[in-house]
Amino acid sequence: MSTYQWDWGIILQQVPESEEFYYQWLISGLGWTIATALSAWVIALLLGSLIGVLRTLPSRPLSFIGTAYVELFRNIPLIVQLFIWFFVVPELVPTVVGDWMKRDMPLPEFTTAVFGLGLFTAARVAEQVRTGILTLPRGQKNAGLALGLTLGQTYRHVLLPMAFRIVIPPLTSEFMNIFKNSAVALVIGLTELTFQMKQITGDYAPSNPIEVMTLVSLLYLSVALSVNRIMAFIEKKSRVPGYISGGK
Amino acid sequence: MIEINKISKWYGDFQVLTDCSTRINKGEVVVVCGPSGSGKSTLIKCVNALEPFQQGDIIVDGISVADPKTNLPKLRSRVGMVFQHFELFPHLSITENLTLAQMKVMGRSKEEASQKGLAYLDRVGLKAHAHKFPGQLSGGQQQRVAIARALSMDPIAMLFDEPTSALDPEMVNEVLDVMVELAQEGMTMMCVTHEMGFARRVANRVIFMDKGQIVEDCAKEAFFGNVEARSERAQQFLSKILQH
């Protein structure tokens, strides 16, 4: 430890045999991390809400589909899922589709990471949305139906607005997780932040790994904290006057 | 107006309603009472199909509730319901609570719906609270809003499922006053309640239920006036709740 030569200047140095600088690699990696996480979050939130709702419906087949989805995607490690989407699925689908996935699909690593991460996180979001709906008093659904709203309208206007408010705290954790989990996409070659960190510390500047790792950790930390603040703001904005929901 | 014909309902093996039949004519006020677990709330929820039943049928204004072809949302929109726990929508303002179904179900414009809703809010004495949220009102006030919300749909009949059981004693009367006024205006009402004072004052008939069956179904005068002629179970019930 005492012999470690700290040199924060490494960040600003040029990459050997390249026009670029290390900090540019890190910024590009951060960009891919954010793009991947945000795109996957859109899928996770939309699909997760749908699956979560399915699990609360009176229809048994629909509820079964929801349950099967959650158990399948929640119980296989994310890294295995990404491998399967990237290497296995193109071999299993019809040749035309498989060839397209291998040759013509735009940004294959990014696209696969977005869908893989999105579908994985959707299972977790689904559980939270379902919990939120089940937390509501049973009479709320009856009140919506008794007024003549259809079941769909009752979900849309009565149940979901409250269910989402209730699950903002766990959804915040999940939103933060999706940024951290996106690091797993380095295994399929997505040049996100952790990929760049590994590349710099492993292949290019092995004598100064701690500076790079520290900076990368700080970048993840600041992204997570920003997400947390944004969600806290949304929670505050959507707070229902007079509605008591715990607190200190 | 509401005809209940021999309905039976089971939860698995347990029979909660057995061959219940009665009718509520236009303009009639019928009070349903009985010990807890006797099936009163289940029966009233069958009327607008919030609870399914396995046998028998209920005809509301000529429309069968059991018929799978019946448009249930439409039928429900014509029958107002008031719940024990109010069930206002907490994330919507009082005005929005009053207008949501008018707009989504009846297709009324926002202006028309607010006008109608606020007129009923005024009638229950809460016009000043239009901009507030349910959580900012007392239980009695919330229940009065819930009544105004149901009335805003121009119902042909009103169902009350223990509307005062969840209220602090001091708030019971403000809700009962609204209900009495409604009854005196000729609204068709089916009320599950233990408020015997209310029953004496405005009910035309009283139904007494026990163990999922309608044990008594008679005119108010007979129910309260001629207690000796009532079933033993009804007498016991009455002697317990009228003791004090």
Indicate which CATH number applies to the domain containing A128.
1.10.3720.10
Residue A191 Cα distances to A23, A26, A198, A233, B150, angstroms: 14, 10, 10, 31, 58
Q: Are A192 and A186 in contact (CB under 8 A)?
A: yes
- For residue A209, tell me if it sits in a domain: yes
The CATH number of B2-87+157-242, from 3.90.1170.50, 3.40.50.300, 3.30.360.10, 3.30.70.600, is 3.40.50.300
B133/A242 touch (CB, cutoff 8 Å), yes or no:
yes
Residue A244 has pLDDT above 90, yes or no: no
Q: For the purposes of burial, counting CB atoms within 10 Å of the CB of A207, is it exposed (0-12), middle (13-18) or buried (19 or more)?
A: exposed
Model confidence at A246, pLDDT cuts 50, 70, 90, reads very low
pLDDT, residue A80, reads 97
- For residue A248, tell me if it sits in a domain: no
B55-60 and B2-11: which strand pairing?
Answer: antiparallel
The whole-angstrom separation of Cα B231 and Cα A227 is 67
B87/A150 touch (CB, cutoff 8 Å), yes or no:
no
Q: Are A127 and B29 in contact (CB under 8 A)?
A: no
Q: For the purposes of burial, counting CB atoms within 10 Å of the CB of B17, is it exposed (0-12), middle (13-18) or buried (19 or more)?
A: buried
- For residue A34, tell me if it sits in a domain: yes
B150/A153 touch (CB, cutoff 8 Å), yes or no:
no
- For residue A47, tell me if it sits in a domain: yes
B87/A140 touch (CB, cutoff 8 Å), yes or no:
yes
Tell me whether A165 touches chain B (CB under 8 Å).
Answer: yes
Residues in B touching A241 (Cβ below 8 Å): 132-133, 135-136
| Shortest Cα distance, chain A CAs vs residue B114, angstroms | 16
B73/A139 touch (CB, cutoff 8 Å), yes or no:
no
Percent of chain A with pLDDT over 90: 80
pLDDT, residue A206, reads 82
pLDDT, residue A247, reads 46
Range of the domain at A97: 8-238
A147/B136 touch (CB, cutoff 8 Å), yes or no:
no
pLDDT, residue A248, reads 45
The residue-averaged pLDDT of B42-54 equals 95
The whole-angstrom separation of Cα B80 and Cα B154 is 8
- For residue A154, tell me if it sits in a domain: yes
Of B48, B84, B104, the CB nearest to A146: B48
Residues in A touching B63 (Cβ below 8 Å): none
Domain ranges, ordered by start, for chain B: 2-87+157-242
The residue-averaged pLDDT of B137-155 equals 96
- For residue A186, tell me if it sits in a domain: yes
- For residue A246, tell me if it sits in a domain: no
Residue B244 has pLDDT above 50, yes or no: yes
Q: Are B36 and B26 in contact (CB under 8 A)?
A: no
pLDDT, residue A162, reads 96
Tell me whether A150 touches chain B (CB under 8 Å).
Answer: yes
pLDDT, residue B92, reads 97
Which amino acid type is present at position B50?
A: L
The pLDDT mean for chain B works out to 94
pLDDT, residue B15, reads 94
SS3 of B93-122:
CHHHHHHHHHHHHHCCCHHHHHHHHHHHHH
Cα nearest neighbour of A145 on chain B:
B73
B76/A146 touch (CB, cutoff 8 Å), yes or no:
yes
Q: How many CB pairs under 8 A join A and B?
A: 84
Q: How many domains does chain A have?
A: 1
pLDDT digit string, tens, across residues B76-108: 999 999 999 999 999 999 999 999 999 999 999
**Considering only CA atoms, which of B134, B140, B19 is closest in space to residue B88?**
B134
pLDDT digit string, tens, across residues B116-141: 999 999 999 999 999 999 999 999 99
The whole-angstrom separation of Cα A129 and Cα A53 is 7
Residues in B touching A168 (Cβ below 8 Å): none
**Considering only CA atoms, which of B38, B19, B27 is closest in space to residue B2?**
B27
Backbone angles phi and psi of B29, in degrees to 5:
-115, 120
Of A137, A153, A165, the CB nearest to B104: A153
Judged by average pLDDT, the poorest of A30-34, B134-138, B197-201 is: B197-201
